[in-house]
Amino acid sequence: MNMNKNTQNTPSELLTRLLDGELEYGQEQLLYDKLAQDPELQAEMNDMIAIRETVRRDTDAFTPPAELTNSVFSTLGFVAPMNQYPAPKRRYLLRYSVLALLFLAVSTFIAYQSDFIFGSKIPVVSSIQTEDGETRNTSKTNDAVTRSESSDLAVSNNSVSKNNALTTEDRNASSSLINIPSEQKPIAEEAPESESATTVQSNTNKDLIAFAETNQDGIIYNQLIDQSNSIIIDNPIGRHINDKQKAFSNSFDFARAISNIDSRNMQNTYSSGKREKTLNLRGVYAISNDENKLQSSIIESFTIAAFISSGFVENLSIGAEFGREPYNQIFVKQQSAGYVQDPSIVWLGIGAKYDFTEVSIYGITPFAQLVAGGSELGPIGRAFLGMSKTYSNGIGFNFGIESSLMLYKNQNKYYTSDKVSLSGGVLYRF
Amino acid sequence: MKKKLEEHRDSELFYMLKGDKQTAEKAFAELYARLSPRVYAYCKRFLGNREEAQDVFQEAFVKFFESAKVEREMQNAPAFIIRIARNLCLNRRRKETVDLVSFEEYMIEDYEQLSDKEELLEILKAAIELLPDEYRDAFILREYDGMSYQEISEITGEKVANVRTRIHRAKQKVRDILQPYLREMQKFN
């Protein structure tokens, strides 16, 4: 083959054709032989390969912006293509499964650990002696006349265990016995004479101990005694044998002031105050940007958020929030020859909520909530200002305005996507 | 069994553009997904200006869709739309007055913050813009759109031999501009 410079068969031209896949079969071997001998030709080939690799990295040239695609389709009267590439069903299944598992894990943790960590609100009363001399366990179930075959509340005759508040010994025992020391007898003697044994549950609260006894008339006296052996509450709760409701209500009121006698948890919530937990489920609808137009259904454009919090200090609660919602973004996922926009993302964060109870009006309380966390694409921050109202049964509602900001990266560039939304939902305090 | 949209050839999808709105919309979306990267790359690299490239890009696809009502057959949809885009780009260029500057004056950006590869890419973009139109045209169609010499010949209306020459000379010019940077990178690799 003639490699005359005056033709189109110079080594350099052949090399160009070789790299473009346009070299004829008969010319290949000649070029290979030339390449093997000519370092300058080898260098040229390396440069051409490097240029081609650089072109491959020019992804910006191959990606039409989302707004341009929208413009093309809307000009033709069509819907934007990102709506025609819904997320695979299995991705939705995975997302909802993860959310459901997370919700179950968090709620389980709160439900089973709250007693241990925050103290139980379950009010209890001591066992009581009935008229027929039978001792019954009145604890745990808030039932004043619950019979328990295997009660962990043993009957004791005016005895106080070493782990109660009136002694200087260890207070952390799970024993349910309290032996009232002899010096306590004047207190007991001040009460109506009792023929029956009295048992109370000890508690590890260092300040208070519950004491109850029944006199011969069947009247139960409940007493709350502090360390100085002073009676804080001396409350006759009346006949209880057949008056379950009366006994229950009276004992319930009293029980709110005494410690939890759960054999597993001996903390006293009387002096420690309540740590309220709140679950808030709400929807969020964006009003600031137009990603709603990009979604094919209301479901796609609707946000669901769940905030689980626990009281930290007065008016301030700390919790976790998670949800899913669409954010306006450039193409992020590659599909066929181009990129498509992800319809929605999942996010999770830690938050704090402050209730401005001091400016509450008709029970409607302003609040501010901040959440910081992460999403599938990057970090996310949220701020929620609104009003809430909770009824006596613990159920309530809230509504307000929310602003959020997401940071994400695409093709080596960082972007922010923000939105302002209306939000509202239901909440449950427990 | 009914074929999935992505299993259809370009010519079949082009024919479906004549159908009802729903069919045409789906067919157009599939064609757009296949062709838009190449068309956008051509417009962007040929014109250099982002806004102009987007205008031409949109106009090219609108003309492409409208041509479906007129054209009976379509053998090579990518070449067809690239031809549309090319003509629009050339018309746009003819309307502009281009101020010629030297390469050194052109390279005024600060590339200190970029990696070597990113810097090389920026220089490549600049080098392409400095090519004469016919060389730039051939280089983009070959390197960005992956067209064969025959296809480029059909799009440009030039003989294959001329296409070969233009591509070779375009690559040589780009190489001449990038060579110092390529040598620098090879030293440190």
Interface of B with A in 169-188 (CB under 8 A): 171-172, 174-175, 178-179, 182, 185-186
| Structure confidence at residue A410 (pLDDT) | 64
Lowest model confidence (mean pLDDT) among A234-243, B103-112, B140-149: A234-243
Sequence-distant (6+) residues with CB within 8 A of A65 are: A330, B54
Is residue B96 within 8 Å of B47, Cβ to Cβ?
Answer: no
Of B33, B164, B179, the CB nearest to A47: B179
Is residue B26 within 8 Å of A85, Cβ to Cβ?
Answer: no
How far is Cα A327 from Cα A333, in angstroms, rounded to an integer? Answer: 14
Task: Name which of A69, A83, A340 to mutate to probe chain B: the one with the most chain B Cβ atoms within 10 A of its Cβ.
Answer: A69
Structure confidence by residue, pLDDT tens digits, A201-252:
333 344 444 444 555 554 444 454 444 555 444 544 433 333 333 333 343 3
How far is Cα A197 from Cα A195, in angstroms, rounded to an integer? Answer: 7
Residues of B in contact with A79 (CB under 8 A): 25
How far is Cα B49 from Cα B59, in angstroms, rounded to an integer? Answer: 15
Among residues A55, A56, A66, A300, which one has the least CA distance to residue B32?
A66
Q: Where are the alpha helices (DSSP H) in A183-258?
A: 185-190, 244-255
Sequence-distant (6+) residues with CB within 8 A of A350 are: A318, A319, A320, A321, A371, A372, A373
Task: Name which of A23, A51, A82, A333 to mutate to probe chain B: the one with the most chain B Cβ atoms within 10 A of its Cβ.
Answer: A51
Shortest distance between the Cα of B50 and any Cα of chain A, in A, equals 10
Total beta-carbon pairs less than 8 A apart between chain A and chain B: 120
| Structure confidence at residue B88 (pLDDT) | 94
| Structure confidence at residue A285 (pLDDT) | 77
Lowest model confidence (mean pLDDT) among A210-214, A277-281, A344-348, B115-119: A210-214
How confident is the model over A84-93, as a mean pLDDT? 52
Interface of B with A in 63-82 (CB under 8 A): 65
Residues of B in contact with A57 (CB under 8 A): 117, 121
| pLDDT band (50, 70, 90) for residue A105 | low
Residues of B in contact with A9 (CB under 8 A): none
| Amino acid letter, residue A329 | Q
Of B25, B41, B44, the CB nearest to A78: B25
Phi, psi of B152 (to 5 degrees): -65, -40
| Cβ–Cβ contact B28 with A under 8 A | yes
Greatest Cα pair distance in chain A: 130
pTM for this predicted structure:
0.45
Return the DSSP state at A361. B
How far is Cα B100 from Cα B132, in angstroms, rounded to an integer? Answer: 11
How far is Cα A70 from Cα A82, in angstroms, rounded to an integer? Answer: 9
CB-based contact A55 B144, cutoff 8 Å:
yes
Is residue A124 within 8 Å of A258, Cβ to Cβ?
Answer: yes
CB-based contact B164 A63, cutoff 8 Å:
no
How far is Cα A339 from Cα A336, in angstroms, rounded to an integer? Answer: 8
| Amino acid letter, residue B10 | D
Structure confidence by residue, pLDDT tens digits, A29-59:
889 999 999 999 999 999 999 999 999 888 8
CB-based contact B182 A335, cutoff 8 Å:
no
CB-based contact B37 A63, cutoff 8 Å:
yes
Is residue B158 within 8 Å of B137, Cβ to Cβ?
Answer: no
**Terminal-to-terminal C-alpha distance of chain A:** 90
| Amino acid letter, residue B164 | R
Phi-psi sector, B157: left (phi>0), alpha (psi -120 to 50), beta: left
Q: Assign A364 to helix, strand or coil.
A: strand
Residues of B in contact with A71 (CB under 8 A): 58
| pLDDT band (50, 70, 90) for residue A89 | low
How far is Cα B145 from Cα B165, in angstroms, rounded to an integer? Answer: 18
